[in-house]
Amino acid sequence: MQNNNNRKIFEIFISKTKIYLLIIAILLIIICVKNVNAIIPSCIAYICIILYAYWTNNKRKSELSRHLQELTVNLDTMAKKTLVNSPFPLIIAETDGNIIWSSAKFISAFRDIDVQSELHDLIKDIKLEIENKKDRKNHLISKKIEIDHRTYSVLCEYIKENKRKNSEHTVVLYFIDITEAEKTKKTCNDIKTCVSLITVDNYDEQMQRMTNEERPHVVATIEKIIYDWVSQSKGIMIKDERDKYVYIFENKYLDEIKEKKFEILDTIKEIELEGMSQITLSIAVSTEGDSIYEKYKSAISAMEIAQGRGGDQAVIRENGKYTFFGGLAQEKEKRTKVKARNVAHALSNLIKESSNVMIMGHHNPDIDAIGSGLGIYKIAKTLGKEANIVTNSAGLTLEAFITEIKKDKTYEGVFINSEEAKLKITPETLLVIVDTHKTTYVEIPELINKIDKIVIIDHHRRSPEFIDKAILTYQEVYASSAAELVTELVQYADCEVELSTMEIEGLYAGIMMDTKNFTFKTGVRTFESAAYLRKCGVDIIRVKKWFQSNFESYSVIADIVKSSEIVRNNIAIAIYDAGDKDAGLICAKAADELLTISNITASFVLGNVGDRTVCISGRSIGDINVQVILEKLGGGGHITVAGAQLKDTDCETAKKELLDKIEEYYSEVNN
């Protein structure tokens, strides 16, 4: 770089001399034109001027070179002195771990400490980062390391050496002691405020079942347990309502609370109530927000998720993510017909105010999604609005049902694809999403961004991926199916809804499928909805035929059951690795079939659906919470019925991950 600067200076200097010589030459020519006798003296004079200029240029060039050389030497000396006497400990090493040189500051700072192993691991990590670095021009890498209870920020600058074969890079490491800065940072983080909300689940129902003498004692016991737990973190708690508390504490206690896995969730269940269900709590904690008010609003959202997942659990909102604790017990039914009437009235008003209605379920919809969609379709049509069911796919489970619908000309043009749906969107379009609340699981995610008015009707436990822009949400985790919820809305709508045969059977089939023939997750309201549909004239035998498997698929299911492996004496795990697009349905049926085997309390069937994607169907009779297990793999569902989908993997790898999560689940239960 210095040579380039020297060359530029010389070029500027020489270029100016040429200009002067050119001007002199022009003047001499003018003189010679006017006086011919001056030609010879002018030539002699010009030659002398050129020689003099050449001599002075060479002399100045040599002097400038000498000065620049002295400056370079001085700079090199200063750089070496700075390197040797650096105020920061530094070393020069090869990427194979061999230390070439270390500064005096480094030697004095780590004189009594064996740092060889730490440095070897550090340099190994740096080498991997160098090899994976896409931008090789950026030679600076920063790492953090702890040595002898002190924290150092290690800045690494590497130089590629083409001459050496054994070592590709030489690395210069600067150690900057940031211990005090880290302590200050931790102190600031520790004193940050966490806002928590605590709610007693089923409070009103529990109190109604107690006598006047029992209530004060139970309330006092609940509050003592809560106040004792709060006092451990030296927090402040305020009773907001009869069953709600606001709890504020410092962030430094949050890790301890997480480590103990919110032990209060189990402590509160120890309250003995003769002939009554256990008392449970829902807890929401938020660390997000610049003010206490923002954290409070965030905690409210987290509480909605906790209760939307059935209660009896804690949810922490931290760094943009949700962490769940508890929620292992079977949820108890907690629904009121008042809410169903209110939702039906609100939905009717939204439909009346809209220009048209679009109904959408989840990806690869099942009979519950389509059946409940038909119920909403009939409400909209009864209210005089154009309505369409949007779907791009129809799995094996819907083949028989879709075939029956196509025979009925009443439903011609009702089912549309995504492109047709986009053409029908107006500013007043209402989108009703059934049987899911996840942004990533809906049939056509683009519609969520294109339509402002959205209604959600779902029965699954709420996940962090819920659609937060919905203006009306009817999410009841205690319901057996979306079809059950829609059946209630049909009964309480603002108009007299007369369901057709296909609509009645679609709703009944949705309830029948999600309850596994009224075996799982059935409550009083489930049978009331089924009774209403039966009164409407449902043909149960015809619906039953829709679920019959053909001989080939039944043989496949039998082979899956036969190849299953038993773990922990009561969990069956099987693999269907055929790469079939309908693997999801086959896995679900196989998982159901495995539960019919004696002593099997839970089953998981993994299926290869192609494109390195594996689906997992989980089933349980209630003793094991398959929803919590599969949620650890990014899935969800209910305690007895759940599913998950893993991408960029194969069945064997997915099986190992599943086994790890099962062990993790049992570890949490035992703790």
pLDDT in tens, 327-361: 665 555 555 677 788 788 889 988 998 999 999 99
State residue 474 phi and psi, 5-degree precision.
-120, 85
Task: Give buried/exposed letters for 526-542 (b at 16+ CB in 10 A, else e).
Answer: bbebbebbeebebeeee
305 vs 114: which has the higher pLDDT: 305
Within 8 A by CB and 6+ apart from 21, the residues are: 49, 50, 53
Q: Do domains 90-186 and 337-546 have the same CATH topology?
A: no
What pLDDT band is residue 205 in, cutting at 50, 70 and 90? Answer: confident
C-beta of residue 384 within 8 angstroms of C-beta of residue 357: no
Q: Which tokens sit at 483?
A: 């079809």
Per the rule left: phi > 0, alpha: psi between -120 and 50, beta: everything else, 335 is beta
C-beta of residue 303 within 8 angstroms of C-beta of residue 495: no
Write the DSSP assignment of 82-102 as a string of letters.
Answer: HHHT-SS-EEEEETTS-EEEE
Indicate the class that CATH gives domain 552-670: alpha beta
Write down the domain spans for the chain: 2-83, 90-186, 208-326, 337-546, 552-670
∠ at Cα 328 (322, 331), nearest 5°?
100
CATH topology of domain 337-546: inorganic pyrophosphatase (n-terminal core) (3.90.1640)
What pLDDT band is residue 12 in, cutting at 50, 70 and 90? Answer: very low
Distances (CA, A) of 274 to 32, 209, 264: 130, 11, 21
Indicate the class that CATH gives domain 90-186: alpha beta
- What pairs with residue 151 in β-bridges? 146
pLDDT tops 90 at residue 644:
no
pLDDT tops 60 at residue 1:
no
pLDDT tops 60 at residue 199:
yes
Q: Give the separation between CA 404 and CA 423, rounded to whole angstroms.
A: 27
Write the DSSP assignment of 522-559 as a string of letters.
Answer: --HHHHHHHHHHHHTT--HHHHHHHTPPPHHHHHHHHH
Q: pLDDT per residue over 14-66, tens digit each?
A: 456 677 778 888 887 888 887 877 778 888 888 888 887 778 777 766 766 66
Q: pLDDT per residue over 546-569, tens digit each?
A: 777 677 878 888 999 999 999 988
Q: pLDDT per residue over 572-630, tens digit each?
A: 999 998 877 677 778 888 998 898 888 899 999 999 888 888 889 999 887 888 888 98
Q: pLDDT per residue over 500-559, tens digit each?
A: 988 998 999 899 888 878 877 788 888 999 999 999 988 888 887 777 767 787 888 899
